Structure 1
Amino acid sequence: MTVLKSTVDTSSGEHLARREAMLGKLDELATEHAKALAGGGQKYVDRHHKRGKLLPRERIELLIDEDSAFLELSPLAGWGTDYAVGASMVTGIGVISGVECLIVANDPTVRGGASNPWTLRKTFRATDIAMANRLPVVNLVESGGADLPSQSEIFIPGGRLFRDLTRASAARVPTVTLVFGNSTAGGAYVPGMSDYVVMVKERAKVFLGGPPLVKMATGEESDDESLGGAEMHARTSGLADFLAEDEPDALRIGRRIVARLNWRKHGPGPSLPATEPLHDPEDLLGIVPTDLREPFDPREVISRLVDASDFDEFKPSYGTSLITGWASLHGYPIGILANARGVLFSEEAQKATQFIQLANASDTPLLFLQNTTGYMVGKEYEQAGIIKHGAMMINAVSNSTVPHLTVVMGASYGAGNYGMCGRAYDPRFLFTWPNAKSAVMGPAQLAGVLSIVARQAAAAKGQPYDEQADAGLRAMVEQQIEEQSLAPFLSGRLYDDGVIDPRDTRTVLGICLSAIHSAEVAGAERFGVFRM
């Protein structure tokens, strides 16, 4: 065994200071997560409970297997916008009757569960995850449809939701919908396009147009129950496959449906024992410096993630700013690429390219641990071919077909974000630590570049340069870029699948590795042209 040794001194002042800084970030994160958990506020939560209804996370808790984990995805969706944090919806991966499923639950305490633009984006991300990883989808529906004031941002792109449901069914990925309340207008097509539909008696209401709209459109008088009630759909229209007595009964029926799917994974199961790391994950709180310009050894992170802290490093003496190697995590084989000193040089890019090809040749999923400031710039490096070598690495990442997982541990700047499998490169899952930052470049560098360009423009026109205005502009730009590079901002815009506690990284990755093996795991047979 090639066990990684740790040199972390957990009693040092430096480690303790880093730990306190990370705990502070986690406290801030907990405050933002609490906003999502609060839904529409105590008033609407109480009203919902008084009606005998469960909250979305209460429904999920009864739906998934007892004492099993639920990996919530995109909990900060909509953060920093005019909409509620969480985007009036809960999404995540949970085990139902022994089957890993993608669960989507409306939060009716937030504007009646109406969908806003961020709800739509969160839903699309969830369906992308379900399709890429071949996960059955279970919808827990109670929604008034589109949030009408923002309908212009919802109506046209929203049609993709129904397209995705029918494509999932065609791909033999089961879709199950449990209707607990209103499912109106376009929302009526969610049960209409699902494989299995359960409706709660005297609660579920599914119609394209409610009584007021029908009255306006046709002059016909009708009531909720005869127009779209659960019993009507169970006995007359046939839209409901199962009629539940109440919410717990609907969840019970949902569990039985999943149990009868005869579901089988297409990927291999764990091939090694899921041995705990030899080093304490608690130490992860103090490993990353508060100043992201300061490098740290990612082996200290790897040794607290992988099984038995056992890691076979590949090309350890070449391209040393990038660590590559083989390990297993919760019994699943993985290849790891981790930034060591932030900057990627030509050697690192070539090393990564070969490593990615090898992972594809052996059908091994890849884990990218990001802490990068990008590819190296300067005359010497340009002449040495940094562009073509960086392009090789990005080519390999782009065309690799084994599943990719990405964790942003610190910085994620410039094209380094691309080469290390950022969001644009479709990793199956991407998570961020609360201290992480991502932008085209660091705030000071970006402000400095703008200042240089402005100075050159003034000089070309023969005009004096306003130093005071320049200082004000730089300060404003630095503040704006800093705010827009922070983890909550990026997560709010769904550029990741969640901001996680570093100590939970192994568990989160284990759930993801299990989920991705629901689909076939196969390496690429070809890549694009590599410039040599």
Structure 2
Amino acid sequence: MVGSVPDTASPEYAENRAAMLEKLAELTAEHAKALAGGGEKYVERHRGRGKMTARERIEALLDPDTPFLELSPLAGWGSDYRVGASLVTGIGVVSGVECLITANDPTVRGGASNPWTLRKALRANEIARANRLPCVNLVESGGADLPSQKEIFIPGGALFRDLTRLSEAGIPTVAVVFGNSTAGGAYVPGMSDHVIMVREGAKVFLGGPPLVRMATGEEAAEEDLGGADMHARTSGLADHFAVDEPDALRRARRVVARLNWRKAHADPPPAPPPRHDPEELLGLVPHDLRVPFDPREVIARIVDDSRFDEFKPLYGPSLATGWASLHGYPLGILANAQGVLYSAESQKAAQFIQLANQRDIPLLFLHNTTGYMVGAEYEQGGIIKHGAMMINAVSNSRVPHLSVLLGASYGAGHYGMCGRAYDPRFLFAWPSAKSAVMGPRQLAGVLSLVMRESAAAKGQPYDEENDAALRAMVEEQIESESLSMFLSGRLYDDGVIDPRDTRTVLGLCLSAVHTAPVAGARGGYGVFRM
């Protein structure tokens, strides 16, 4: 068993806890913006039309008293668009089946898609395909946000491609159409396996009355062009004709119940919770990321019975590796202990990843790294080839990967610990996390040294006052761009989570990944430079 009892009365613990709670309050405020949709005025107008909001539709669709793991709730944060990107995505249980659910938020510009909506929807499709999760799309969208069409039109075709590829892979797709699904959006129901439309609500057509009038001179009503009744009786696009929204959601639940869908792996029996209180996670991670912490204390508060069987504990000690289970699922864990990755840690990681693939065990990466070690001694010792060995192992591993950014995640260390570019099935961040090429102070210092050396080479005097101003500006910029909410807004993770929810979030993810077969790589790692 791992873990110790922290001194919760110490000034350091109290300071760390207070800093984390402050970050969580900021996070809650940003999540509230997504929950508010287009604002009170537009929500009330929407309800006045007898319609449910996106989240109300999801709640009615899900099995009672089951969780919904919302994904990318901060999409678009820091941009000119609404936080949440006018789309709700997540994983929930429908008629006993874990599904990937998307719901347009029609209170935000009629549910129109902006560039962040597109990225969020494509990420949802990626999760569905990798984990073989049936997709239920709750549709009400005015199509592309026209002022930003240049950023949507070309890549937007991938949404329809994904629907056909999901179907080809045998992953069911269900579209429930509540309102507009027009122009390109008409292909969402058009390319779904099962389609449900709401009477006097659904409008599915390639061209509405104004476009038809301009293109052909024909005068046609919306209902004749794309109403639910027409599609149910005449075109055949609607498989199910719902009298209202609750009826549509009831029918969607029945469709999912009849899919005959089975998970590739049975759910494990109930598992013992950690022996250490997850509440203590708030004060365990220093608010100053330059101060190291023991990741085993985090592990002790998220894994079953706080049991962690460490692998090579005396070799490469700045990376903790070992075996555990979480909500009954077996798990291999790699966790940065002191921030820097050396050659020994890299080689240990590569071997551990190979072992996990031999045993078909998913891997969890807990990030707190400043990257691979630099300096003459380490370059001569082969840090490049050893770091490359670790990255090679991560790249070619076939078991599901989960990543959680706890603290720093800088440089190539972010890659070696399975950052976003390395296709983890899910990646989440704590509010304390930061990620960038390097720390703000180091990056500003490197720029200063380069400019100083350039001036010296030209025989020019160096302006120290300008240097100080530049360093301050660069540090401020990199600091703001490395924050967890900034990165989450750009969908570089799947959400910023409360540390106390880490076990629950990872448990839901592990359940989802076991819907698909879990099988590791058997060789095929390419050339390891020895």
Q: TM-score, normalised by structure 1?
A: 0.99
2:202 to 193, 204, 213: 204
2:414 alignment partner in structure 1: 417
Match of 1:88 in 2: 86
Kindly provide the CA deviation profile for residues 383-440 of structure 1, in whole angstroms up to 9, marking residues without a partner as x. Answer: 1110000000000000000000000000000000000000000000000000110000
SS in structure 1 opposite 2:152?
A: helix
1:109 paired to 2:107 = yes
2:331 counterpart of 1:334: yes
Pick aligned residue for 1:472 from 466, 469, 474: 469
CA distance in 2, matches of 1:455, 1:201: 70
Q: Which residue in the other structure is 1:316 paired with?
A: 313
Aligned residue number for residue 269 of structure 1 = 267
Give the aligned partner of residue 511 of structure 2: 514
Residue 180 of structure 1 deviates from its aligned partner by: 0.3
From 341, 344, 350, the equivalent of 1:353 is 350
AA paired with 1:340?
A
AA partner of residue 521 (structure 1): V
C-alpha distance in structure 1 between counterparts of 2:69 and 2:441, whole Å: 36
Matched residue, 2:496? 499
- C-alpha separation between the residues in 2 aligned to 1:439 and 1:171? 36
CA distance in 2, matches of 1:311, 1:163: 43
**What is residue 529 of structure 1 aligned with on the other side?**
527
The answer for the alignment partner of 2:59 in structure 1 is: 61
Report what 2:405 is aligned to. 408
- Give, as a single letter, the amino acid of the residue that structure 2 aligns with 1:426: D
Match of 1:135 among 133, 136, 146: 133
SS of 2:347's partner is: helix
Query: For residue 152 of structure 2, what is the aligned residue in structure 1?
Result: 154
Cα displacement (A) at 1:11: 2.0
Deviation string, structure 1 residues 295-325 (Cα, Å, up to 9, x no partner) = 0001100000000001100001110000000
Give the match for residue 460 of structure 2.
463
> How many Å separate the matches in 2 of 1:396 and 1:357?
7
Aligned partner of 2:515: which letter?
S
User: Unaligned regions of 5+ residues in structure 2, if any?
Assistant: none
Task: Report Cα offsets for 1:152-177 as digits up to 9, x if no partner.
Answer: 11111100000000000000000000
Other-structure match for 1:35? 33
Q: 2:176 aligns with which of 153, 167, 178?
A: 178
5+ residue gaps, structure 1: none
Q: CA deviation at 1:7?
A: 3.6
1:260 counterpart (253, 258, 279): 258
2:301 maps to 1:304: yes
Change beyond 3 A, Cα 1:427–1:493: same
TM-align CA RMSD = 0.7
Whether 1:362 aligns to 2:359 is yes
Q: Report the alpha carbon displacement of residue 268 of structure 1 after superposing the two structures with TM.
A: 4.8
Structure 2 Cα separation of the partners of residues 8 and 439 of structure 1: 30
**Which residue of 478, 482, 485 maps to 2:479?**
482
Alignment match of 1:227 (pick from 208, 225, 243): 225
Separation in 2 of the partners of 1:169 and 1:102? 14
Matched with 1:285 is 282
> Aligned to 2:280, what secondary structure does the other structure show?
helix
Q: Which residue of 2 aligns with 1:236?
A: 234
Counterpart CA distance in 2 for 1:268 and 1:430 is 24
Deviation at 1:134? 0.3
1:364: how far off?
0.2
Matched residue SS, 2:91: strand
Task: For residue 269 of structure 1, report the CA deviation from its aligned partner.
Answer: 3.3
| CA-CA distance at 1:267 after TM superposition | 3.2
Equivalent AA in structure 2 for residue 4 of structure 1:
V
Alpha-carbon distance in structure 2 between the residues aligned to 1:318 and 1:466: 47
The two structures have a TM-score, normalised by structure 2, of 0.99
Shift of 1:355: 0.3
Aligned match of 1:440? 437
Q: What secondary structure is seen at the aligned counterpart in 2 of 1:208? A: coil
Q: What SS does structure 2 have at the residue aligned with 1:206?
A: coil
CA distance in 1, matches of 2:400, 2:166: 19
Cα distance in 1 between the residues matched to 2:271 and 2:495? 24
For residues 346-374 of structure 1, the C-alpha deviation after alignment (integer angstroms, 9 at most, x for no partner) is: 00001101000000000000000000000
Provide, for residues 157-213 of structure 1, a one-character-per-residue CA deviation record: whole Å limited to 9, x for no partner. 100000000000000000000000000000000000000000000110000000010
- Greater mean deviation of Cα atoms: 3-12 or 129-138: 3-12
Gap change, CA 1:273 and 1:67, over 3 Å in 2 = closer
Extract structure 1 runs of 4+ deviating beyond 4 A. Answer: none
Structure 1 residue 5 displacement after superposition: 3.4
SS in 2 for 1:104: strand
Q: Which letter does structure 1 place at the counterpart of 2:152?
A: I
3-state SS in 1 of match to 2:129: helix
How far 1:147 moved relative to its partner?
0.4
Deviation at 1:288, TM superposition (A): 0.4
> What SS does structure 2 have at the residue aligned with 1:205?
coil
Partner in structure 2 of residue 215 of structure 1: 213
| Cα distance in 2 between the residues matched to 1:273 and 1:502 | 22
Count of matched residue positions in the alignment of Structure 1 and Structure 2: 529
